[in-house]
């Protein structure tokens, strides 16, 4: 089977890699987003898939837009199927008509259609996490379901969940491609759908109302944008290396309950958290105990 792959981030790389080792598939092209400026110097940085799969020798396409000329170029390669994983670009119907386009979406559809499904599954403490293979249409993540794989929520953070779901996705797409003619697609129920937008920096801002909710946000955003509180003194304070102590006892929000050798324990209106590392806006990370001592904060004070 002649395959075109379309995807940009590391999640897509992890799904695509095993396809190169399968004798049933011939990879004839990789589509990913253009290189983008990165860092203070604005040096161009290629997408993860381009960096990781260049050694395979597969032709790599990085169109600025999916226009008629590009569609004709891909059509001329005569793919039997196109596998799309976190490509991040809306594909026009003319592109979808080239060959069956199969998308892997990191949620149990129709829940969490959109740009940040893994983070939303974690933030909302879903009982199960999963990944779905579907036929692509122009409607956002609304195509017929071909197969899905799911697992229990065991407290994974976003890095762990991404690794687990991409591994499952790699197996799932191989199954779908191998059995494509035999699978009976299942229509999604729009009535059961939920949606999620792209993560913004402001999503990391937390209120110390529920320790359980703060911890869920930490698990979801520990790669970016991280979780932080807004200090009444005008700066943000990021939390790193955070764990949930308990989720039921009542405390004053932000109260320092204990100062240990490196860590601190703070209270929320419901529950408490252990924090190992803090970072005040514009400054270096510090062990949390060192930070509060530097601020001359004691047990019973409010973290700020």
Structure token digits, residue 268:
């929320």
Q: What is the pTM of this model?
A: 0.95
* Mean per-residue pLDDT, 34-52: 91
Residue 279 is predicted with a pLDDT of 98
Report the percent of the chain where pLDDT is more than 90.
Answer: 96
Which residues contribute to the annotated binding site? Answer: 107-110
> Are 270 and 190 in the same domain?
no
> Are 108 and 221 in the same domain?
no
Range of the domain at 68: 2-196
pLDDT-based confidence at 78, cuts 50/70/90?
very high
* Mean per-residue pLDDT, 14-29: 97
CATH number at residue 38: 3.40.50.170
Residue 70 has pLDDT above 90, yes or no: yes
Residue 121 has pLDDT above 90, yes or no: yes
> Are 277 and 156 in the same domain?
no
Count of CB atoms situated within 10 Å of the CB of 257: 17
More confident residue, 90 or 239: 239
Report the percent of the chain where pLDDT is more than 70.
Answer: 100
End-of-domain residue from the set 140, 162, 196: 196
> Are 181 and 252 in the same domain?
no
End-of-domain residue from the set 179, 196, 213: 196
End-of-domain residue from the set 172, 196, 220: 196
Structure token digits, residue 295:
């601020």
CA atoms within 13 A on the CB side of 10: 7
Residue 284 has pLDDT above 90, yes or no: yes
> Are 287 and 220 in the same domain?
yes
> Are 235 and 248 in the same domain?
yes
Residue 42 is predicted with a pLDDT of 84
Structure token digits, residue 28:
């004839």
> Are 29 and 72 in the same domain?
yes
**Which among 122, 98, 111, 82 has a CA at the least distance from the CA of 223?**
122
CATH number at residue 224: 3.10.25.10
* Mean per-residue pLDDT, 180-193: 97
> Are 272 and 257 in the same domain?
yes
Residue 217 CA, chain-centre distance (Å), reads 13
pLDDT-based confidence at 278, cuts 50/70/90?
very high
Residue 141 is predicted with a pLDDT of 97
> Are 223 and 147 in the same domain?
no
> Are 170 and 294 in the same domain?
no
Q: What is the mean pLDDT of the chain?
A: 97
**Number of domains the chain is built from:** 2
pLDDT tens-digit readout, 124-133: 999 999 999 9
HEC per residue, the chain = CEEEEECCCHHHHHHHHHHHHCCCCEEEEEECCCCEEECCCCEEECCHHHHHHHHHCCCEECCCCCCHHHHHHHHCCCCCEEEEECCCCCCCHHHHCCCCEEEEECCCCCCCEECCHHHHHHHCCCCEEEEEEEECCCCCCCCCEEEEEEEECCCCCHHHHHHHHHHHHHHHHHHHHHCHHHCCCECCCHHHCCEECCCCHHHHECCCCEHHHHHHHHHHHCCCCCEEEECCCCCEEEEEEEEEEECCCCCCCCEEEEECCCCEEEECCECEEEEEEEEECCCCEEEHHHHHHHCCCCCCCECC
Which residues contribute to the annotated binding site for (6S)-5,6,7,8-tetrahydrofolate? Answer: 107-110
Residue 237 is predicted with a pLDDT of 98
> Are 119 and 64 in the same domain?
yes
> Are 184 and 214 in the same domain?
no
Residue 264 is predicted with a pLDDT of 98
- 8 A C-beta contact, residue 132 and residue 185: no
pLDDT-based confidence at 40, cuts 50/70/90?
confident
């Amino acid at each position: 089977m002649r395959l075109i792959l379309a995807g940009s981030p590391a999640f897509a790389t992890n799904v695509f890699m095993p396809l190169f080792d399968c004798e049933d598939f011939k990879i004839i092209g990789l589509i990913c987003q253009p290189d983008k400026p990165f860092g203070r110097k604005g040096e161009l940085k290629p997408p993860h898939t381009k960096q990781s799969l260049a050694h395979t020798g597969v032709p790599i396409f990085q169109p600025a837009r999916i226009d008629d000329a590009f569609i004709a170029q891909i059509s001329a390669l005569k793919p039997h199927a196109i596998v799309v994983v976190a490509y991040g670009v809306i594909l026009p119907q003319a592109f979808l008509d080239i060959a069956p386009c199969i998308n892997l979406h990191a949620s149990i559809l129709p829940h969490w259609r959109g740009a940040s499904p893994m983070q939303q599954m974690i933030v909302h403490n879903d009982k199960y996490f999963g990944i779905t293979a579907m036929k692509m249409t122009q409607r956002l993540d609304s195509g017929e379901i071909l197969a899905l794989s799911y697992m229990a929520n065991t407290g994974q953070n976003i890095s762990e969940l991404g690794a687990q779901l991409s591994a499952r996705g790699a197996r799932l797409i191989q199954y779908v491609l191998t059995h494509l003619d035999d699978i009976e697609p299942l229509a999604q129920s729009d009535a059961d759908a939920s949606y999620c937008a792209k993560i913004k920096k402001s999503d990391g801002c937390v209120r110390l109302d529920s320790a359980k909710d703060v911890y869920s946000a930490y698990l979801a955003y520990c790669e970016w944008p991280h979780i932080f509180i807004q200090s009444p003194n005008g700066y943000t304070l990021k939390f790193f290396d955070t764990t949930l102590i308990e989720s039921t006892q009542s405390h004053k929000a932000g109260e320092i309950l204990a100062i240990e050798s490196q860590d601190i324990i703070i209270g929320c209106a419901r529950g408490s958290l252990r924090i190992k590392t803090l970072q005040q806006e514009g400054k270096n990370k510090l062990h949390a105990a060192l930070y509060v001592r530097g601020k001359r904060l004691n047990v019973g004070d409010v973290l700020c």
